[in-house]
């Protein structure tokens, strides 16, 4: 068997120890970053879901309030065809009417009526807010507005003059309020 010359095969012990040391210097911060990312992923998902809820509520609620001529916060209020969906509780019901064409005098002919009913419903262990809308007392069309509400008390409505404000509390404990001004008191 012939003898091996230096530099032909393998690593020397100092080279191997240096590679392991450099690898450890690189792996430790990467592992820490991975664990930090995994720990914060659930909170980040909750924050993003809450942000989407705020956007949906801001999309529907202010225009409904601006159109409304009446506001009803009674728990059993329902203005669409049939019975209110089982297991839901009214938070706020907004109703308005459209009359005959602009410029005609007098404005007395009712063309159609609208109802937007914001209700809380429990789905599994979480509460959700759903907007039920109907035209002329017809069937309600549901749109989920907010998810991840901690309890049936997570939504409150306040009115002051022509302003109607809806405040929601999400599972993170963050409160957000969306408001609108009615066209008449």
For residues 97-107, average pLDDT: 67
Percent of the chain with pLDDT over 90: 39
Number of domains in the chain: 1
Quickly count: other Cβ atoms within 10 Å of residue 65's Cβ: 25
Nearest to 177 by CA among 90, 169, 12, 185: 169
pLDDT at residue 3 in the model: 59
In sequence order, the 6+-apart residues with CB closer than 8 A to the CB of 57 are 129, 145, 146, 166, 168, 176, 178
Nearest to 147 by CA among 133, 168, 161, 167: 168
Q: Is residue 27 assigned to a domain?
A: no
Quickly count: other Cβ atoms within 10 Å of residue 46's Cβ: 15
Q: Is residue 55 assigned to a domain?
A: yes
Q: Is residue 29 assigned to a domain?
A: no
The 10s digit of each residue's pLDDT in 32-89 is 888 888 787 877 877 887 888 889 999 999 999 999 988 999 988 998 999 999 889 9
| Alpha carbon distance 135, 159 (integer Å) | 24
Q: What is the DSSP letter of 81?
A: S
pTM, full prediction: 0.73
Confidence tier at 99 by pLDDT (50, 70, 90): confident
Average pLDDT of the chain, as a whole number = 85
The 10s digit of each residue's pLDDT in 161-182 is 899 999 998 888 888 899 999 8
Q: Is residue 30 assigned to a domain?
A: no
Q: Is residue 22 assigned to a domain?
A: no
Quickly count: other Cβ atoms within 10 Å of residue 146's Cβ: 25
Q: Give residue 140's domain range.
A: 41-181
Q: Is residue 59 assigned to a domain?
A: yes
- What proportions of the chain, in percent to the nearest 5, are helix, strand and coil? 30, 35, 35
Q: Is residue 14 assigned to a domain?
A: no
Nearest to 95 by CA among 111, 117, 110, 74: 117
141 contacts 130 by C-beta, under 8 angstroms: no
Confidence tier at 134 by pLDDT (50, 70, 90): very high
Q: Is residue 66 assigned to a domain?
A: yes
Please determine, for residue 105, whether its predicted confidence score (pLDDT) is greater than 80. no
Please determine, for residue 125, whether its predicted confidence score (pLDDT) is greater than 60. yes
Please determine, for residue 110, whether its predicted confidence score (pLDDT) is greater than 70. no
């Amino acid at each position: 068997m012939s003898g091996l010359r230096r530099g032909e095969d393998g690593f020397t012990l100092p080279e191997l120890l240096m590679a392991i040391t450099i690898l450890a210097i690189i792996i430790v911060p990467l592992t820490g970053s991975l664990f930090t990312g995994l720990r914060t992923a659930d909170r980040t998902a909750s924050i993003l879901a809450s942000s989407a809820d705020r956007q949906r509520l801001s999309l529907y609620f202010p225009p409904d309030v601006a159109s409304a001529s009446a506001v009803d916060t009674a728990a059993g209020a329902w203005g669409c065809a049939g019975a209110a969906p089982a297991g839901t509780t009214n938070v706020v019901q907004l109703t308005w009417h459209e009359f005959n064409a602009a410029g005609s005098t007098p404005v007395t002919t009712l063309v159609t009526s609208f109802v937007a009913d914001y209700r809380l419903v429990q789905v599994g262990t979480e509460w959700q807010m759903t907007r039920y809308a109907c035209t002329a007392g017809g069937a309600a069309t549901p749109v989920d507005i907010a998810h991840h509400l901690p309890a049936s008390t997570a939504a409150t409505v306040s009115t002051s003059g022509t302003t109607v404000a809806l405040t929601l509390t999400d599972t993170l404990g963050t409160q957000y309020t969306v408001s609108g001004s009615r066209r008449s008191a």
